[in-house]
Structure 1
């Protein structure tokens, strides 16, 4: 069973998300919105299919990364999230919440052995 297929996003805390968005727009050419930016790419096994990697700065006081105390969270792209979550449960991995489904994919959060919160995403590319 293939587990992670790539990085879906990089999320990090900062003092001023708006200023960070502007800095990256000005100096590195990011096409930012209040939610960061999306990097579009083509899938290697089928170049007609697009994929996205999200980049998001969050306010330093966000609760979104909890229960992790870290200043970052990585989103990993996966296939068959339900099957993966069942396998992770059997391996005694901490599952933080329930799988949620949106029009752009399914999500769940887990913790690694150092308490880093990880977001798993099965996208609808």
Structure 2
């Protein structure tokens, strides 16, 4: 059975993502191209989670109207999607990038959930 293995990240809307990233870096000592990256190991493999600001005007969180999106790590995206669809959950889309496989769903409250199976190395911090 496929499962969620952890938090991939929290993505949220702000007026000026670059200024927000600078603030987090200068004030809290955390930052990077996509926001704050938190590396960790999962079963000996390199892994990471993100805290990432997006432009307030982004449409990436649609069709949700919420100002944030949650990214959850999964161990086997294809199998997990099969299980969700069998339960009646609509998959909004899928995508494969060099650093992972992604899919999107809405939870029962209309919050967009990004499901992510990490593949390959982490992008640079």
Same fold (TM over 0.5): yes
1:51-62 alignment, distance < 5 Å: 51-62=47-58
1:71-86 alignment, distance < 5 Å: 71-86=67-82
1:37-116 alignment, distance < 5 Å: 37-43=36-42, 46=43, 48-97=44-93, 99-116=94-111
With structure 1 as the length reference, what TM-score do the two structures score?
0.90
Counterpart of 2:102 in 1: which secondary structure? strand
Counterpart of 2:61 in 1: which secondary structure? coil
* CA-based RMSD: 1.2
| Aligned-partner Cα distance in 2 for 1:56–1:101 | 20
| Aligned-partner Cα distance in 2 for 1:27–1:123 | 29
Partner deviation per Cα, 1:5-54 (whole Å, 9 max, x = no partner) = 00011100011111111110111001322x223211122xx3x3211112
In structure 2, relative to structure 1, the CA distance for the partners of 1:56 and 1:13 (3 Å cut) is same
Counterpart of 1:95 in 2: which secondary structure? coil
Deviation at residue 82 of structure 1 after TM alignment: 0.7
Aligned residues: 120
Pair 1:8 & 2:4 matched: no
Specify every segment of 5 or more residues in structure 1 that has no aligned partner in the other structure, as ranges: none
| Aligned-partner Cα distance in 2 for 1:17–1:58 | 6
Counterpart of 1:69 in 2: which secondary structure? coil
Kindly indicate whether the alpha-carbon contact (under 8 Å) linking 1:94 and 1:112 is maintained by their aligned counterparts in 2: no
